[in-house]
C-alpha cells in the first residue's frame, strides 16, 4: 500500500574519507562509491577534510599509524539527503538489501551484530561495558531524535577521555563505534531499543586478505591459512592494503559489469 | 622444508569447510527473505506464509520484526511474500548445490 499523500524523500549514500600519510582513504571511498551506486542505484556523496588526530593498528603493516576518523557526527548536518545510508569506506555493497531499511526506518538504525568471517571477537567495549554497536553501516532520517544522537556523538568525541572512563572502555583511541554505542544508550534512557538496530548482521573480513575473487554468485576468499566460499553480499573489508590493490579494482569491475 | 611438505601445507590452506560456507550462505539468504511492506519489515518464512494463507479476513494487523503491528492487506502481502520466498529459495537451492561441489579454492 503506497500512501500517495506523502512526498518522495531524497535518498542517498554518505561516505567519510580522510587521507593519512599511510593510507589513501579517498581512493578506498571512491571504490566503495562505485559499488554503492551500482547496487543501490542511489547518489553517493563522499565527505572529506576532517582532521582529528588519532591512531589505529594497521592489520596489514602490523604497526600503529595515523588515523583521521573524527567528524562523523557531522553526517546529519552534511548529508544532502532526507534519508541517508552512512557507510564506512571499507564497507562494500554488493546487493540492495539496505534499500529495505530506507522503507522502514523511523529515526535511525545502526548495526548491532558484526560477524567476523575467520575468527571470533569480543563484542563489548570493555569487560564491564556495553555491547559495541558498529558505525560501519547506519541508516538515518533527518529527525529531531537523530539530530540529538549525532550532537551527542560530537560531544562524546570532544570529551572522549571522560566517556571512556565512564563506560569502562578498554581501547584508548577514539572509535566512532564506541561514540555511537554510548550516544544510543543515553538517548534511549540508558537503555536500548531494538527498532534502532539493523535486523541482520554485517559480515566482516578482519585480517589481511591473500585473495578475493568473484566467481559467479560467490566470493572465493583466501586469508592466511583459511579459505572460504561466501555468497555475494555486502562485506566489510578491513584490509586497506587489499582494497587499494589491483585485484580489488578487478573485483569491482567484475561485479559491476556482471 | 621439503617440496612435499610445502605441497601439503598449500593444500590445507586451500581447503574450505563446507559447514562454514553453508552457514554463511544460510545467513545471507535469511537477509534476502526480509520484505518491507507498508512501513514494516517482515521475515518471509513458512509461518508467515501459512498464517496469511489461512486468515479469514482481508485486512489485518501483523507483527513485524521490530515488534510493531503493521496494517496489511492480506492478499497483497501474501502475493509479495510468495514472490519473495519463491525467488530467494530458488537462489538458495542453486547456490547450495554449487557449494556442495567446492572443497578447495
Chain B stretch 53-72, residues whose beta carbon is closer than 8 A to a beta carbon of chain A? 64-68, 71
Least Cα distance to A213 among A244, A248, A243 occurs for A248
Output the pLDDT for position A7: 64
Asked if B102 lies within 8 A of A229 by C-beta distance, the reply is yes
Out of B32, B39, B105, the one facing A104 most closely (by C-beta) is B39
Q: What pLDDT, on a 0 to 100 scale, did the predictor assign at position B3?
A: 72
Rounded CA separation A71/A69 (Å):
7
According to the model, what pLDDT value does residue A51 have? 67
More confident: A214 or A120: A214
Asked if the C-beta of B11 comes within 8 angstroms of chain A's C-beta atoms, the answer is: no
Mean pLDDT (whole number) for A107-113 = 96
| Residue B68 covered by a domain | yes
Q: Taking the CA of residue A42 as centre, how many other CA atoms within 13 Å lie in the half-sphere pointing to its CB? A: 26
Residue A34 burial (10 A CB sphere; 0-12, 13-18, 19+): middle
**Would you say residue A209 has pLDDT above 60?**
yes
pLDDT of residue A178: 95
Contact B24 A231 (CB under 8 A): yes
Residue with cell 553453508: B22
Mutate which: A120, A137, A229, A234, vs B, most B CBs within 10 A: A229
pLDDT at B2: 65
DSSP 3-state of B44 = coil
Report the residue count for chain B: 105
Do A96 and A142 form a contact (C-beta atoms < 8 A)? Answer: no
Q: How far apart are CA B32 and CA A249, in angstroms?
A: 26
Give the pTM: 0.90
What is the CB neighbour count within 10 angstroms for residue A129?
17
Q: Tell how many helices (H) and how many strands (E) occur in chain A.
A: 8, 14
Backbone φ, ψ for residue B48 (5° rounding): -65, -45
Overall number of domains in chain B: 1
Q: What SS3 class is residue A115? A: strand
What is the residue-averaged pLDDT of chain A?
90
Q: Which of B22, B31, B37 to probe the A interface (max A CBs under 10 A)? A: B31
What is the reported pLDDT for A190? 93
pLDDT of residue A52: 65
The lowest-confidence range among A200-209, B14-23, B38-47, B92-101 is B14-23
**Which residues in chain B touch residue A95, judged by CB atoms under 8 angstroms apart?**
32
CB B41, CB B64: distance < 8 Å: yes
Contacts of A39 in chain B (CB under 8 A): none
Q: How far does B31 lie from chain A, in Å, by closest CA?
A: 6
For B2-69, where are the alpha helices, taking DSSP H only?
3-14, 18-32, 46-54
Would you call A228 and B102 a contact, using CB atoms and an 8 Å cutoff?
no
Residue B11 lies in a domain: no
Place of cell 559495541: A132
The per-residue pLDDT for A145 is 97
Which residue does chain A place closest to B100, by CA atoms?
A229
Note whether residue B4 is domain-resident: no
Candidates A1, A36, A3; CA nearest to A17 is: A36
Q: Choose between A144 and A126: higher pLDDT.
A: A144
Lowest average pLDDT, out of A116-120, A151-155, A187-191, B51-55, goes to A116-120
Instruction: Identify the closest residue of chain A to B99 by CA–CA distance.
Output: A229
Task: Give the one of B13, B14, B24 whose C-beta lies nearest to A230's C-beta.
Answer: B24
> Could you tell me which residues come within 8 angstroms of residue B23 by beta carbon, excluding any fewer than 6 positions away?
none
- Please tell me the predicted confidence (pLDDT) of residue A177: 94
Whole-number pLDDT of residue A6:
58
For A6-50, the pLDDT digits (tens) are: 567 899 999 999 888 788 999 999 999 999 999 999 999 999 876
Domain range enclosing B62? 16-100
A215, B95 contact by CB (below 8 A): no
| Second CATH level (architecture) for the domain A11-203 | Alpha-Beta Complex (3.90)
Q: Any idea how long chain A is?
A: 258
Amino acid at each position: 500500500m503506497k500512501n500517495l499523500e506523502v512526498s518522495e524523500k531524497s535518498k542517498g549514500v554518505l561516505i567519510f574519507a580522510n587521507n593519512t600519510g599511510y593510507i589513501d582513504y579517498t581512493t578506498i571511498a571512491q571504490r566503495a562509491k562505485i559499488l554503492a551506486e551500482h547496487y543501490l542505484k542511489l547518489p553517493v556523496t563522499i565527505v572529506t577534510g576532517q582532521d582529528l588526530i588519532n591512531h589505529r593498528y594497521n592489520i596489514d603493516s602490523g604497526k600503529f599509524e595515523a588515523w583521521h576518523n573524527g567528524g562523523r557526527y557531522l553526517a546529519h548536518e552534511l548529508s544532502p539527503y532526507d534519508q541517508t545510508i552512512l557507510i564506512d569506506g571499507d564497507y562494500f555493497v554488493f546487493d540492495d538489501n539496505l534499500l529495505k531499511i530506507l522503507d522502514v526506518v523511523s529515526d535511525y538504525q545502526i548495526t548491532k551484530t558484526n560477524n567476523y568471517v575467520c575468527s571470533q571477537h569480543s563484542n563489548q567495549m570493555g569487560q564491564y561495558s556495553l555491547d559495541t554497536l558498529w558505525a560501519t553501516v547506519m541508516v538515518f532520517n533527518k529527525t529531531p531524535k537523530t539530530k540529538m544522537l549525532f550532537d551527542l556523538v560530537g560531544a562524546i568525541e570532544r570529551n572522549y577521555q571522560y566517556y571512556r572512563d565512564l563506560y569502562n572502555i578498554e581501547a584508548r583511541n577514539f572509535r566512532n563505534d564506541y561514540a555511537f554505542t554510548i550516544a544510543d544508550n543515553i538517548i534511549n534512557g540508558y537503555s536500548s531499543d531494538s527498532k534502532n538496530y539493523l535486523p541482520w548482521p554485517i559480515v566482516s573480513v578482519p585480517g589481511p586478505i591473500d585473495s578475493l575473487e568473484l566467481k559467479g554468485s560467490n566470493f572465493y576468499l583466501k586469508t592466511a591459512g583459511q579459505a572460504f566460499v561466501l555468497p555475494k553480499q555486502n562485506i566489510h573489508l578491513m584490509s586497506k592494503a587489499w582494497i587499494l590493490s589491483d585485484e580489488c579494482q578487478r573485483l569491482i569491475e567484475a561485479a559491476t559489469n556482471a | 622444508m621439503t617440496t612435499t611438505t610445502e605441497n601439503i601445507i598449500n593444500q590445507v590452506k586451500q581447503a574450505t569447510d563446507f559447514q562454514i560456507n553453508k552457514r554463511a550462505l544460510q545467513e545471507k539468504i535469511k537477509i534476502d527473505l526480509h520484505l518491507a511492506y507498508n512501513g514494516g519489515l517482515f521475515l518471509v518464512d513458512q509461518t508467515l506464509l501459512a498464517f496469511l494463507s489461512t486468515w479469514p479476513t482481508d485486512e489485518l494487523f501483523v507483527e513485524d520484526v521490530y515488534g510493531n503491528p503493521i496494517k496489511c492487506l492480506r492478499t497483497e502481502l501474501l502475493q509479495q511474500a510468495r514472490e519473495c520466498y519463491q525467488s530467494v529459495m530458488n537462489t538458495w537451492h542453486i547456490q547450495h548445490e554449487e557449494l556442495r561441489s567446492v572443497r578447495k579454492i
